[in-house]
Structure formats: structure tokens, C-alpha cells
Amino acid sequence: MEKLNSVIENILIDLGYENLYYSGILRKNWQDIVGELIAKVSTPDRIERDILFIKCSNPAWKQELHFFKEEIKNNVNKFFNKEIVNDIKIFFG
């Protein structure tokens, strides 16, 4: 199964859907990457130009998540075993 996932990943990357692919994987594994508390109040929205956009549930959490940006970025990159995200933008919505 791992080989099939690798083949699919490579095809999507070759077709230019790399960010879409990684965004979907993030959504599916968000709680494992950021933990239960942060996952309850946020959702990975999309990746554009190596920037992860995170949607949060209220303005207070938007401010709070700014303190965790570096940790979230490191966890995401560690999850993929490569640098996918260079920056994070957090928005309320």
C-alpha cells in the first residue's frame, strides 16, 4: 500500500497538484499533527506558495495560535519528512 501512495503522490506532484495533495493529507491527519486541543479549534485550509493557511473558530484562538506557529510548522514538516511549509497564516472564519 505504501508504494501505491508514493505513486499517487508522485503523479499528483507531476501534474501540479502538490499543494492540493498535501492539504488533503493535512486535513485527514490534523489532530495527529497538532494535537486534540488545537485540532478542535482549527482546520488546515490550504497551502499556497509554501504557506499553510489555517482557519480557526474564533478571534481569540486566532491570536493564541500565533504563539504555536513555529511548532505547527515543524510538526507539519516532520509529518511529511520534508519541508512542505515555510510559513503559516491564521485567519478567523
Residue 42 belongs to domain spanning: 2-92
CA-closest candidate to residue 53, choices 18, 21, 80, 92? 92
Q: Kind of pairing, strands 51-56 and 42-48?
A: antiparallel
How far apart CA 90 and CA 93 sit, in angstroms, is: 10
C-alpha cell at 36: 486534540
Count of structural domains, the chain: 1
pLDDT at 14: 82
Each residue's pLDDT, cut to its tens digit, for the chain (93 residues) gives 567 777 877 888 788 888 888 999 999 999 999 999 999 999 999 999 999 999 999 999 999 999 999 999 999 999 999 999 999 999 998
Grid cell of 9 as nine digits: 503522490
Cell output for 61: 484562538
